[in-house]
Structure 1
Amino acid sequence: MTFIQALLIGLIAGLTVLDGNWLGEAKFREPVVTGFLVGLALGDVTKGLKVGAELQLLWMGATGIGPTAQLDIGTGGTIGAAVAIMTGKGAETAILFGVPVAVVMQFINTLLIASYSGLMHKVDNDIEAGNFKSIALTHHFCNWATFALYSLVAFVAMYFGHGVIQAIADGLPAWANAGLNGVAALLPALGFALLLNIIFEKDLTPYLIIGFVLAAYAGQAITMVGITLIAFAIAMIIYQIRSNQGTVVQSASALDDEWED
């Protein structure tokens, strides 16, 4: 990897941390976006988009709830896509390097934010003094410091560590590669499961089944298993409709009784 390419990867990683701060929710941290940008920087946009999309499926259910910290998907997706393109491997290698990076960078980010707490006393004093220019400078300093740290970490990892990364990727035994391929196939399903655990409604079960069957049998002949699942989903929908009709009739009857009283 050349110096310029490593520098561009570092800038992309820094860009992801500005998302949600200076840039609002521009979604630059999403793996499908960073995959495109990394592919653009390394000259393989198609592979960058493919790896980014697969990482997106993995992380789409990674949501921070309450005090639980979310994984740093921006840097993890950036490094993962860069490693996959650089080594000529697939999503399994992106996951091998991207997930640990996401965990480590989230830990570093937590320490960084904790270090900024000392500046809050200065901001409190500036508020009392009405020194709003100083407050703005403090805000910009924190953002630039975070951007610089993320960019530096990604640049150093890619420029000075690409030889080690290549050696690790090439030195994996066949059984480890097979296991990573299995994990790469399984983790998108885990991402969907995490997402459904947050937003899923049981009344939507039949539609989930129908969508799954359509996706599973796209471009091939449907088997009896698929037909059975679709029939089961239709039966559930009919049952839901009839149950709701019964509820509506009961409600209308109760309303009529109330008017008679």
Structure 2
Amino acid sequence: MHFTVIQIVLLTILAFIKHIDYYGIPMLFVNYPVFWGLFTGLLMGDMKTGLLVGGTVQLMSLGVAGFGGSSVPDYGTTAIIATAFGTVLGKDAGLAIGLPVGMLGVQLDVIVKILNGFVAKKAQQYANERKFKKMNAVTWLGPVFFGLSAAIPVFVSVTLGQSAVNFVLNSMPSWFMSGLTIAGKMLPAVGIAMLLNYMPTGKLVNYLLIGFFLAAFLKVPIIGAAIIGFALAFATYKQTEQADKFKVAAASGNANKNGIGEDE
């Protein structure tokens, strides 16, 4: 099948906007696939298919999130490509074409995050040299890189089809794919370490050890660990609340005693 030039351009721009929006400029849709399926359906003149495909991809993405800098499949881009092809070939065929692109998004996300490390370093250098215009200009490369990491796969897919995506995946050398996989596994650890740096870890280290024990030794799923964490946090909150009430009552009693003594 062939897309028109206008459709190719609009789908590529939509993917670019989608990924920039996901990373905070202006973050209107938070990368919900159902929205991008709907928008793609409107561009293709088939809103019903857009909602069906977007909703299906939304179900696939439930419970999947890139916490702490981790990279996950790009379900938003999957929804765009699956809807574009699904309007002509059918929903199932569209999903079959879109899913490999979503998996490719994991590797592209790692590459972009590595590149943005150099962008941040260069921006810091300009800031130290008080070259603030250059600092501001180079900082904008970050969103551009993220946008291109979604726009390029969509452009390739709608112009060359599924075979092009599979060719790219199969052509990457094993050492390169292994390196990206290792980098992708390291990013969550770095992100968690950054979060712990800003949390009162010293005071709450016992809860940190409990969570680690549940996940590492008992293999408790993240939902189960979260429920236990909420229970412990709620218990800590209630204990703190009771302690604060006791302190207020004690302070009030001391004040009354002091007041009676002064009156006498």
Which TM-score band (shorter chain)? 0.5 to 0.7
Q: 1:16: which partner in 2?
A: 18
1:33 partner letter: F
Give 1:196 shift: 5.9
**Structure-1 separation of matches of 2:105 and 2:118:** 21
Higher RCO (CA-CA < 8 Å; seq separation 6+): 1
Equivalences, count: 174
Q: 2:122: which partner in 1?
A: 122
Q: Deviations over 1:119-176 (max 9, x none)?
A: 33322221212222222111212322432453233122102327989xxxxxxxxxxx
**Structure-2 separation of matches of 1:109 and 1:67:** 10
Residue 134 of structure 1: SS of its match in structure 2?
helix
2:33 partner letter: P
**Structure-2 separation of matches of 1:3 and 1:198:** 50
Does the 8 Å CA contact 2:112/2:149 hold for their aligned counterparts? no
Given the superposition, is the C-alpha separation of residues 26 and 195 from structure 1 closer, same or farther in structure 2, using an over 3 Å criterion? farther
**Structure-2 separation of matches of 1:77 and 1:18:** 16
**Structure-2 separation of matches of 1:5 and 1:198:** 46
| Mapped pair 1:81 → 2:86 | no
Q: 1:59: which partner in 2?
A: 61
2:43 partner letter: A
Runs of 4+ in structure 1 off by over 4 angstroms are: 162-165, 194-201
**Structure-1 separation of matches of 2:47 and 2:153:** 23
TM-score calculated relative to the size of structure 1: 0.57
Give identity over the alignment, percent. 21
| Mapped pair 1:96 → 2:71 | no
* Higher mean displacement: 34-43 or 136-145: 136-145
Give 1:74 shift: 1.7
**Structure-1 separation of matches of 2:107 and 2:133:** 31
**Structure-1 separation of matches of 2:20 and 2:109:** 12
**Structure-1 separation of matches of 2:98 and 2:225:** 24
**Structure-2 separation of matches of 1:195 and 1:53:** 24
Does the 8 Å CA contact 1:35/1:52 hold for their aligned counterparts? yes
**Structure-2 separation of matches of 1:44 and 1:60:** 25
Give 1:99 shift: 2.5
Q: 1:36: which partner in 2?
A: 38
* Higher mean displacement: 107-116 or 15-24: 15-24
TM-score calculated relative to the size of structure 2: 0.57
Give 1:17 shift: 0.9
Uncovered stretches (5+) of structure 1, i.e. residues with no partner: 166-193, 202-261
Uncovered stretches (5+) of structure 2, i.e. residues with no partner: 166-220, 229-264
